[in-house]
Amino acid sequence: MHDGDNQFAELKELILSRASVKQDVYATTKDVFVEMKDVLGDIAKELSEYVSEADTRVAVTTTSEGLFENQMTLGGDTIVLHMHTNVFTFPSSHMIHKHSYVAKQPENAYCGIINIYNFLTDSFRFRRMNDSGYLIGRIFLNHERHFFVEGRGKIGIRFNDFGTAVLNKEAMRDILETILVYSLNFELFTPPYHSVDQVLLSDMQELSQNLKLQTAKRLGFRFQRDEDSGVEF
């Protein structure tokens, strides 16, 4: 057999083992994202009914921003779910490759990603384009709905059993509730004086129109590493 024949045989194998599984991962991730929108809507409805009886000023709503983005406003916080349209795998040094689930079937390491961000609601309300949001967690899932979560605080610790954990609606709700609790406990701190002691005249002149001065919950502060990182299994 000529080298060209061997190469074409390899190409055919790669189409089935790589391209096909990536299509499966994408389809699964898209289905999961639609289900997560529904779960987030259920949470919002329940919280809205509860909060409205105590304080009508606190709004709890959800909005869809197309096929790949969904938002939940919870008072002063807005949670943004964003599905990445690409499929990823991990470097050979990543601990996922040592998992028996992946070792037996390397294609199981191909994952879609759903990122979850925390913004200030006023950043959207006043279109403060300079404001920062924070990546609170990111969900990795494969074609069989096996998943793990990287995230801040307890988020990355609780959801790390990639070999057996399946992302059903019960798991989705658990993840979302954990992230909402974290976000509401993630308070707005004033930035250090030295980080805001100068301002451009152009910013000051436009401040009343679009509030261009950058705002974020921890502007000027850094998380400790043990709060930032999820654990690897």
DSSP collapsed to 3 states, 147-202: EEEEECCCHHHHCCCCCCCECCHHHHHHHHHHHHHHHHHCCCCCCCHHHCCCCCHH
Distance linking the first and last C-alpha atoms of the chain: 44
Phi, psi of 209 (to 5 degrees): -90, -45
* 209 pLDDT tier (thresholds 50, 70, 90): low
pLDDT score recorded for residue 121? 84
Question: Mean pLDDT over residues 163-188, rounded?
Answer: 91
For residue 168, tell me if it sits in a domain: yes
How many domains does the chain divide into? Answer: 1
Question: Mean pLDDT over residues 119-133, rounded?
Answer: 80
- Packing angle of the helix pair 20-52, 169-185 (nearest 10 deg): 60
Quote the domain boundaries for residue 103.
3-228
Residues 6+ apart with CB under 8 A from 97: 90, 103, 106, 109
- And the tokens for 198? 């100068």
Q: Which residues pair with 146 in a beta bridge?
A: 166
Residue type, 193: Y
DSSP per position, 23-50? HHHHHHHHHHHHHHHHHHHHHHHHHHHH
- And the tokens for 182? 């974290």
For residue 118, tell me if it sits in a domain: yes
Given a cut of 80, is residue 155 above it in pLDDT?
yes
* 19 pLDDT tier (thresholds 50, 70, 90): confident
For residue 233, tell me if it sits in a domain: no
Question: Mean pLDDT over residues 18-44, rounded?
Answer: 95
Burial class (CB in 10 A: 0-12, 13-18, 19+), 190: exposed
